[in-house]
Chain A
Amino acid sequence: MALIEYRNVTKLYKGTNALNGVSLDIPAGRIVGLLGPNGSGKTTLIKLTAGLLTPTSGTITVDGFAPGPETKARVAYLPEKSYMSEWMSVDSFIKYFSDFYADFDRVKANEMLSRLGIDPKRTLKTLSKGTKEKVQLVLVMSRAAKAYFLDEPIAGVDPAARDYILNTIIRNYSENASVVISTHLIYDIENVLDDVVFIKEGKIVLADSADNVREKTGKSVDMLFREVFRC
């Protein structure tokens, strides 16, 4: 049984199919790139898995559970937006995550913050946008979750921060867990991906290992992406 299973998942918004009959299996221990242009359904698929949306039809299971408190305890979600209250300090967020997530590792979070030179006593309001995103990433990756869903983790950050984020993902990856990264910046992320899923207009157009894709097409994933999603 795959770690995450999607069976005929459809999500309708006011007559538009954000997702249309998506069926996909994500096994444990893989780094999966969920790739597609803006508006293709990547974020919708992630939000459905995180339990923020309910599907119009179809089923999603994470480690055998339908989205709910059990899956939220197993899924670590990094949204595209900043979700942290500006008035709270970094340390307060560490306590917050410790309170609610049994798999949160405070020591690891503090170590990562220390390596980044971020003072935990500082409030979010005093941090730059890039630093806030790093703090969010630290909080998410300090959990020993079964699945990590990172929605556009490298968009809008500088190249040095991008490298840091990708290194953090690889360093903290475990063979019992899966990491799903949604992005349209393929070139930066291609080398870390085990599997790729192309999503276009709410439908899966390709789901294969990155190596297979390169072997079969003779092209990099980035080049294939540009071909498939050419305007």
Chain B
Amino acid sequence: MLGKLMKYDMRYMARILPWVYLGSIVLSIFCSAVIIMLPAKIIGIVDVITALFPALCTMAAYAIIIMTVVVIIMRVYRSLYSDEGYLTFTLPVKNSKIIDSKILTGAIWTSFSLIAAVIVSTLPKTAYSIRFYQTEEFLDPGLYVNEVWDYINIALILLIAVTAAFLVPSLYTFCATVTHKAKRARGFASIGMFIGIIYGLSVVSSVIIVVFIAVFAETADYVDYGIVGYNVLSTGLLLIVWFVLAVLTVTSWLVSRHIANKKLNLL
């Protein structure tokens, strides 16, 4: 039954999101092609375009992620707590399976959106590097990974991305379930609660990072190659971030399931 629930949830989101991703990737490819092929003699325009197009594609990448979150919120809220809930919650399945389906499909689409966002934002930057630097130098892996810490950090970053993909739908489902249970003005209350928690998480994460660096900075050596160039300091930070995200994800998922199974009161 979980597979059937996920089929319909995936189908709902597939009405909109693939077009957003495809459109953004096409934009990114276009921008990259222009950056590479623009004749050097048009001096002023080259500067503007090579600065503007990567920024445009970065904005498109953010738009992909925001759009995905919006569609997830719409699907969760409409199918569970609007009039469509009369259909959803009278299906012959456990309510917890309905919650699982929303979270799993949300995680799948969030993962797709992160991949699409990375492609969209890095293509024009790659094109810029190809135009202005030697390709061999740019593509040298040694530029990015030198120590075992770097591999560990890359693995942790991927793990954080996967956990974040689950966190978004879990957290919103939790917010929708809790505000619905409390019978507040549900739609806006759930979105407000979701945004508030995300904002709070960002603030807390920033404080943790600053404190961590302040406490351990003197004992660490830095290698200035961006996020994957640090050693145990960055690994420790990434582990903490992942742990916080994982706890939040699991807690919000389990609480949503529990409320849906035990205390449902759909009005």
CB neighbours (8 Å) of B15 from chain A are: 87
Q: Which residues of B contact A72 (CB under 8 A)?
A: 90-93
- Partner-contacting stretch, out of A2-10, A77-85, A107-115, A166-174: A77-85
Query: Does residue B214 face the partner (Cβ distance < 8 Å to A)?
Result: no
With A52-B266, A100-B4 already in contact, the answer to whether A77 and B83 are too (CB < 8 A) is: no
Contacts of B265 in A (CB 8 A): 53-54
Does residue A101 face the partner (Cβ distance < 8 Å to B)?
yes
Q: Cβ of A68 and Cβ of B266 under 8 Å apart?
A: no
Task: Give Cα A154 to B1, complex, Å.
Answer: 33
Using A83-B83, A96-B8, A100-B4 as known contacts, say yes or no to A53 and B90 having CB atoms under 8 A apart. no
A73, B92: Cβ atoms closer than 8 Å:
yes
**A158 contact set on B, CB distance < 8 A:** none
For the A-B complex, the count of residue pairs with Cβ-Cβ distances under 8 Å equals 56
B185, CB-defined interface residue at 8 Å: no
Interface residues of A in 41-90 (CB under 8 A from B): 47, 50-54, 68-70, 72-73, 75, 77, 79, 81-85, 87
In contact, B264 and A83 (Cβ under 8 angstroms) = no
The yes or no answer to A215 lying at the interface (CB within 8 A) is no
* Inter-chain contacts of B83 with A (CB < 8 A): 79, 81-83
**Subset of 9 A-B contacts with CB under 8 Å:** A53-B264, A53-B267, A69-B92, A70-B92, A72-B92, A83-B83, A84-B87, A85-B12, A100-B91
Complex interface: chain B residues within 8 A of A54 (CB):
262-265
Instruction: Flag whether A99 is at the interface (Cβ < 8 A).
Output: yes
User: Within 8 Å CB of B87, what residues of A?
Assistant: 83-84
- CB pair B4 A77 closer than 8 Å: no
Query: Are B86 and A85 neighbours in the complex by a CB distance under 8 Å?
Result: no
CA distance A80 to B263 in the complex (A): 23
B84 within 8 Å of A by Cβ?
yes
| Chain B 225-267: CB-based contact to A (< 8 A → 1; otherwise 0) | 0000000000000000000000000000000000000111111
In chain A, what residue has the closest Cβ to B183? Answer: A14
A72 CB to nearest B CB, Å: 4
Number of interface residues of A (CB under 8 A): 24
A144 to chain B, nearest CB (A): 14
Q: Once the chains are docked, how many angstroms separate the CA of A85 from the CA of B1? A: 20
At the interface, yes or no: B184 with Cβ under 8 Å from chain A?
A: no
Q: Is B144 in contact with chain A by the CB < 8 A criterion?
A: no
Shortest beta-carbon contacts, A-B, top 10 = A73-B92, A83-B86, A83-B87, A72-B92, A79-B86, A52-B266, A81-B83, A69-B92, A99-B4, A100-B91
Query: B92 contacts A52, CB within 8 Å?
Result: no
Q: Does B89 contact A (CB under 8 A)?
A: yes
**A89-111 at interface with B (beta carbon < 8 Å):** 96, 99-101
- Name the contact of B86 in the complex, choosing from A52, A69, A75 (C-beta under 8 A): A52
The distance from the CB of B96 to the nearest CB of chain A, in whole angstroms, is 11
Q: How far is the CA of A132 from the CA of B7 in the complex (A)?
A: 24
- Measured between beta carbons, the chain A residues less than 8 angstroms from B263 are 54
Not counting A53-B264, A81-B86, A99-B7, a sample of 10 additional A-B residue pairs whose C-beta atoms are within 8 angstroms of each other reads A52-B85, A52-B89, A53-B265, A53-B267, A54-B262, A72-B92, A77-B90, A85-B12, A100-B1, A100-B91
Which among B4, B94, B262 is the interface contact of A69 at CB below 8 angstroms?
B94
